[in-house]
Chains A and B, each alone.
Chain A
Amino acid sequence: MSIATGRAASPLSARSAKKPNVFSRMAAHRTDYLYVLPALIVMMVVIAYPIYYTIELSFYRTPPNLQLRDKVWAGFDNYTAVLSSSVFHEVTLNTVIWTVASTFFSFVLGLGAALSLHREFIGRGLFRALLMIPYVVSAVAASYVWKWLYHSDFGVIGALAVQLGFTSEPINFLDNRQTVLSSLIVVNIWREFSFAMVMMMAGLQTVPEQLLRAAQVDGATPWNRFWHVTFPHLKGVSMVTVLLLMVANFNSIIIPFIMTGGGPADASHIWITHIYQLAFGRQQWGAAAAYAVILFIVMMALGYFYVKALTRGDEARQE
C-alpha cells in the first residue's frame, strides 16, 4: 500500500499509471483478445497472407515457360518496368479520369435525386424504387445490355440518334479511342448514383427541420438554406459517400472488362483491368503483383482518409 501511495504522489508515476505499456494493456484485456482471435486468424489467412504473397511475388519474374514456384528473383525490376511503361501512364490517367468523373457525377446526381425525393409528393415511393433499379441490377447484366445499346453498328442509341437527325450515321461509342472511356463512365454513373442517393437520403434525415424553418422565417433563399443549413449537416455523410465511391471506382472491373476488355488499343484500360490482363492474359504475375502493390498503397491512403472521416466525430467527442 505504501509503495502504491508513493507512486501516486509522483507526477511521472501518475502518467505511467494512466498509460500502461502495450503489453500490460494486452494482458489486461487478454479475454477480449481471446474473443477476437478466431476472426483475427481468418483475417490473417484470407487477407494478410495474400497481401504478403503479392508483395513477395512483385519482386520476381515469371516467364511463360516456368511455373510460379520456379520464379526468378528480379529485385525492383517489375516496379521499374511498370512505372516506366508508357501504357502505365496512359492507364493511370484513365484511372484518374474514370474515378474522379464517376465519383463526382454519381455524387452530384445522387445528391440532386435525394434532395428531390426528400420532399413530399405523390408517387415519391415509386420514384425512389425506380431510381434504385440501376443499383440492384447485376453489374454484369447491365454491362451486356449497355454494350448492345452502345453497339457501333446496330445499337439502339446510335439508331435513335440517326432517326432523330442528330447524326448521319450510328455513333461509334465503344470502338473509338476518343469516346470509349466517357461512354463507360456514363454507364458507371448510371449504376452508382442510386447508391449516393440512398446515402444522402439517410443524411437528410439528420438535418433539423426547425433550423430550416427558422432560416425560412429569416428570409433565406432556397439556395442559402441548402448551402448554410442542409449541406453542413451532410458533410460527414458526403465525405464517407465520396470516399466509398472512390474506393469502389478505383477497384471496379466489371463494366470496362465486359464492355471493352480495356480496348480499343488500351483506351479504356484502368488499373484493375490492366492488372488482370497482365496476370491472366499475359501471365506476367510478377509485374501484375507490382502493379497491385502500387494500387494497394493508393487504396491504403484512401482508406486512411476514410477511417479519419468516419472517426472524426468520435475524436471530437473525446476531446
Chain B
Amino acid sequence: MKDMQVRMPRPGARTRRRLMAKTLAVASVASLLSSTAYAQSVDVSQWSPEYIRSIAGTEEFDTAGHCADVVPLDYEGNLTYWWTGPTEASPQIEHEINDEFWAAWEETYPNIETDAQNVDYNQLLDRLRTTLLGNAAPMVVRLQILGGVEFASKGYFQPLAPEDIGYPTEDFWPGAMKSVTWDGETYGIPTNNETMAFIWNADIFERAGLDPEEPPATWDEVVEYSKQIHDELGISGYGLVARQNAGNTPFRFMPTLWAYGGGALDEAEDSPSYSDVYINNEGSKAALQAAYDMYVRDRSVPTSALTNTQNENQAPFIAGQLAMMIAHPSEYAKMVDLAGQATGADKEVADSVVENMRYGLIPEGPERRAVVFGGSNMHFIEEEYVDGEFDEMAAKAFACFWNSPEWSTKLAWTGSNPGNLAGFKTEWMKERLDTIKFLDVTTSMLPSGVPFPVIPEATEIMNIIVPDMLQNALTERMTVDEAAEDAAAKVDSLVGGGL
C-alpha cells in the first residue's frame, strides 16, 4: 500500500481521466458480457460434495488479464477500503493469504494508491454509520451480509452489479444476490458465502457415553447430549453464545429457531414477505425453550454465554472443556494453530482435541435443517459521503480483482466459500478441498442456508432484539413465553416505524 499523500493530480486531469476511463469501462464490460468466458460457471441445482469435487480444478483463470479488460492495469488513481480481515483469532494461513493478496494487488495495479483499513467485525457497522454522517466514509466497503440493506435503503450505496466489474450475476448464489438487492436494484457484489457446520470432540463424546462418531441429529438431541456431557464429565456440553450486539449470536441461534419452525419474520419461508412476525410462534418458543433448558435447567453450557462471543469458546474447546458448537470451517485450522502454540501438558490436551475434532451437518429440527446463509458483500459508497473524491475506476479495478475467481477463492480459504461461483472450478478450490479437513461438510450446508431478512431493520432485529430475547429468558427476567412476546412486540413496533 502506498502513501496517499504523495501524489497531487493536475487540475482537470482527474476529470479527463475519469471520462476516458468510464468510456473504456463501458466498452470493455460490454465486450466481456458478450463473450462466453464468464457465462454461468456452476450448476447450482447439482450441488453436492461430489459435484464440487468433480468441478474443482477444471478451469484456469487469468485474474490480471480479465481485470485489465475492465480497468487498464496502468490506471492511476486512489482507493480507500474498509473490511473485516484476519484477526488474532484467525488461523495463520489467513494472515498469509491476506498479505499475498495486497502484494498481488499492488503488483497488478501499481498506480492505484490504496488505503485499506481492517476494522473489527463488531465495530464496522457502527463506524461506517458514524463516518457516513460526517461524509467521511471510504469509497469501498465490505460488509457482513446482514449489514448492506440498511445503507442501501438510505441511499448511501451506489448501484453495483457483477456485470459492472465483468462477471455475470448468474455466477453468484441467488440468496447472496438477494442480500445485495433493495427495491429491485443491485447494490453490491457477494464476496464470499459461508455456512457453518457443527463440530464436536469425539473423545468427550466417548467419555460421556455417547457414540463418538455420531453428532446429535436434532436440536432436541443437542440438549440431551449437552446435559449428559455436563452430568458425566462436569464440563460444558454445547457452546451457546448469547452476547448482545455481536453478530455471533444470531449466526448461532437463528439456525435453531428456523429448525423448529420459527424465525424473526418469515425469512425461512420459500417466498418471504418480511411482514409476518414469527418470533413468538410455537417454533420460536420451542427453540428458546431449548436454550433455556441448557442454560438454566441443565446448566450444561458455559455460564459466560451471556457475555461471550464465539471467540471466547475457542479456548475451552481446545482445552477439552467444551464438547460441541456451531463453527466456521476455519475452526479446524484455528484449533491446529492453537495446538501448535500450546506447550507442555496443554499441548498434549490440545493435540488430542485436534485429533478428536469432528465436523458434521448442523442438526435438524421438526421443520427443517437450517443455517445462516452468511458471508460478506462489497459495496461502493455514493460520492457525496466519501472522504474525498470517489475514484470509480480504481473502485472497479479493486472489486474486479477481489471478486475474481482466484481471489474470491483464496480470500475465503479457511473460513468461507468463494462468492464468485467460478471459484469452485479453480485449481485453488481443488487445493482447498485436498488440504482443508471437513471443507466439504460446510460447503454441503450451503443449500440449507437461510439469508437474514432483507429489510433495513434486520440489523437491529438480529443484533439487538434476538439477543435481548435470549438474555431475557436465560436470566429469567422473563419467562420463555414473555421473552418471545416481548421480542415480537419490539419487532412489530420497529417494522411499523415505532421506537
Contacts and interface: CB of A to CB of B under 8 A. Distances in A.
B314 interface: no
Contacts of B153: 64-65
A282 B472 contact: no
Contact of A67 (B156, B243, B245, B303): B156
Given A67-B154, A67-B155, A281-B463, A263 B304 contact: no
A264 B307 CA distance: 7
Given A68-B133, A265-B477, A281 B471 contact: no
Contact of B464 (A66, A147, A281): A281
B245 A261 contact: yes
B497 interface: yes
A259 to B, nearest CB: 8
Given A153-B302, A175-B305, A265-B472, A81 B499 contact: yes
A284 B243 CA distance: 21
B96 interface: no
Given A151-B304, A152-B304, A261 B475 contact: no
B475 A152 contact: no
Contacts of A65: 150, 153-154, 456-457
A304 interface: no
B307 A277 contact: no
Contacts of B459: 64
A84 to B, nearest CB: 10
B431 interface: no
B244 A177 contact: no
Contacts of A174: 304, 306-307
A68 B133 CA distance: 8
Nearest to B235: A153
A61 B464 CA distance: 19
Given A281-B245, A281-B463, A175 B457 contact: no
Nearest to B303: A152
A110 interface: no
Instruction: Decide if the interface of chain B is mainly helix, strand, loop or mixed.
Output: helix
Interface in B455-475: 456-457, 459-460, 463-464, 468, 471-472, 474-475
Nearest to A81: B499
A283 interface: yes
Contacts of B126: 280-281
B414 interface: no
A19 to B, nearest CB: 46
Interface string A17-36: 00000000000000000000
Given A265-B472, A280-B129, A282-B460, A154 B316 contact: yes
Interface in B300-351: 302-307, 315-316, 321
A61 B421 CA distance: 42
Contacts of A172: 303
Interface string B64-103: 0000000000000000000000000000000000000000
A277 B499 contact: no
Contacts of A284: 499
Interface string B438-469: 00000000000000000011011001100010
Given A64-B456, A67-B154, A264-B474, A280 B130 contact: yes
A237 to B, nearest CB: 38
Interface in A131-185: 147, 151-154, 170, 172, 174-177
A106 interface: no
Contacts of B243: 261, 263
Contacts of B155: 67
B464 A264 contact: no
Contacts of B456: 64-65
Given A64-B153, A65-B456, A152-B304, 6 more contacts: A65-B153, A67-B156, A170-B303, A175-B306, A264-B306, A284-B499
28 contacts: A64-B153, A64-B456, A64-B457, A65-B150, A67-B156, A68-B133, A152-B304, A153-B302, A154-B316, A154-B321, A170-B303, A172-B303, A174-B304, A175-B307, A177-B475, A259-B307, A260-B307, A261-B244, A261-B245, A262-B244, A263-B471, A265-B468, A265-B472, A265-B475, A280-B126, A281-B126, A281-B463, A283-B129
